[in-house]
């Protein structure tokens, strides 16, 4: 055999499916027109998605661009650092830290309920005056290039979990903003604050929102949440929050486990 290009097409595709995606684009695709055409085939990127476990073999959902889909799946992770308080208050900016200030406690805590997933061991808790904390995500630093965010505009999914103590009422709030490079707000999710009454069920509740069809130019995401108790009791009787997440891209077969998310 004089050239690798004499191999059957299906063999070349199998070889290309083993090459890291960025090397395929940067190094292999420019080699010749044959390689370019093969690397642009839908079947190659679908095969790579199956190999990586992003989709099952019987996946039947429509995909507009399998190459983009692959890169979004490979990048997908929880962009919130220290979402489950395993590192104390590290990685969080304390925007408001009033009353007896933010604190980390072990689940389930006094007058509380176990978290739905037993791998989540800790939570953040607020006090009798407003406590708010936030994180600012730089999308380019996380691998999401400008053209992807402007042309494809993949879904941005945010989730948060909150709960009250049984013996004290509280008020929970969340605000998530999509920001430009100059930190101009392009889109936002800021639902009305949730007030939980004293002697309530103290169940953990999930809040979620999906940003789609947002304006081009999104470069940062600002996530802020917190609250306060409504009895004004000294100590930590306000809402409890944990397991927050920001993910970009499609729902995939393989997802990070809560324990993996909490180690970020």
- By three-state DSSP, how is residue 24 classified? helix
Residue pair 254/53 in contact (Cβ under 8 Å)? The answer is: yes
The structure tokens listed for 37 are 């055409």
Tell me, what's the pLDDT at 94? 98
Q: How far is residue 128's CA from residue 145's CA, in Å, rounded to a whole number?
A: 42
Burial (CB count <10 Å: 0-12, 13-18, 19+), residue 49: buried
Cα-atom radius of gyration of the chain, to the nearest Å? 23
Tell me, what's the pLDDT at 252? 64
Tell me, what's the pLDDT at 62? 85
Could you please report the per-residue DSSP string of 154-178?
--EEEEEEEE--TTS-EEEEEEEEE
Residue pair 240/160 in contact (Cβ under 8 Å)? The answer is: no
Task: Give the pLDDT confidence of 176-215 residue by residue, as tens digits.
Answer: 999 999 999 999 999 999 999 999 889 999 999 999 999 9
Query: pLDDT of the chain along its 264 residues, tens only?
Result: 568 888 888 999 999 999 998 899 989 999 999 999 999 999 999 999 988 889 887 888 888 899 999 999 999 899 999 999 999 999 999 999 999 999 999 999 999 999 999 999 999 999 999 999 999 999 999 999 999 999 999 999 999 999 999 999 999 999 999 999 999 999 999 999 999 999 988 999 999 999 999 999 999 999 999 999 999 999 999 999 999 999 998 866 555 444 445 645
Domains and CATH numbers, the chain: 7-55+64-74 (1.20.1280.50), 93-248 (2.60.120.260)
Could you please report the per-residue DSSP string of 32-66?
-HHHHHHHT-HHHHHHHHHHHTSS-TT--S--S-H
> For the stretch 154-190, what's the b/e string if a residue is b when 16 or more beta carbons lie within 10 angstroms of its beta carbon?
bbbbbbbbbbbbeebbbbbbbebbbbeeeeeebbebe
| CA proximity to 159, closest of 256, 225, 102 | 225
Q: At what angle do helices 9-17 and 42-52 cross, to 10 degrees?
A: 40
Q: How far is residue 69's CA from residue 62's CA, in Å, rounded to a whole number?
A: 11
């Amino acid at each position: 055999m004089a050239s690798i290009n004499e191999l059957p097409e299906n063999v070349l595709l199998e070889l290309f499916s083993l090459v890291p995606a960025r090397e395929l684009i940067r190094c292999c695709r420019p080699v010749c027109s044959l390689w370019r055409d093969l690397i642009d085939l839908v079947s190659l990127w679908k095969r790579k998605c199956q190999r990586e476990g992003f989709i099952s073999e019987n996946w039947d959902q429509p995909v507009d661009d399998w190459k983009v889909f692959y890169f979004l799946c490979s990048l997908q992770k929880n962009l919130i650092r220290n979402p489950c308080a395993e590192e104390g208050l590290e990685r969080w900016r304390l925007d408001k830290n009033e009353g007896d200030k933010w604190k980390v406690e072990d689940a389930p805590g006094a007058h509380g309920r176990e978290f739905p997933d037993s791998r989540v061991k800790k939570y953040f808790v607020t006090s009798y005056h407003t406590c708010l904390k936030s994180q600012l995500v730089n999308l380019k630093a996380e691998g999401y290039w400008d053209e992807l965010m402007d042309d494809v505009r993949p879904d941005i999914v945010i989730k948060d979990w909150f709960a009250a103590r049984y013996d004290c009422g509280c008020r929970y709030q969340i605000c998530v903003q999509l920001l430009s490079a100059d930190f101009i707000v392009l889109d936002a999710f800021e639902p009305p604050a949730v007030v939980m009454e004293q002697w309530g069920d103290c169940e953990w509740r999930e809040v979620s929102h999906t940003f789609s069809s947002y304006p081009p130019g999104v470069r940062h995401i600002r996530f802020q949440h917190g609250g306060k108790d409504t009895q004004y009791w000294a100590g930590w009787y306000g809402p409890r929050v944990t397991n927050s997440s920001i993910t970009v891209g499609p729902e995939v077969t393989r997802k990070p486990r809560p324990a993996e998310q909490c180690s970020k």
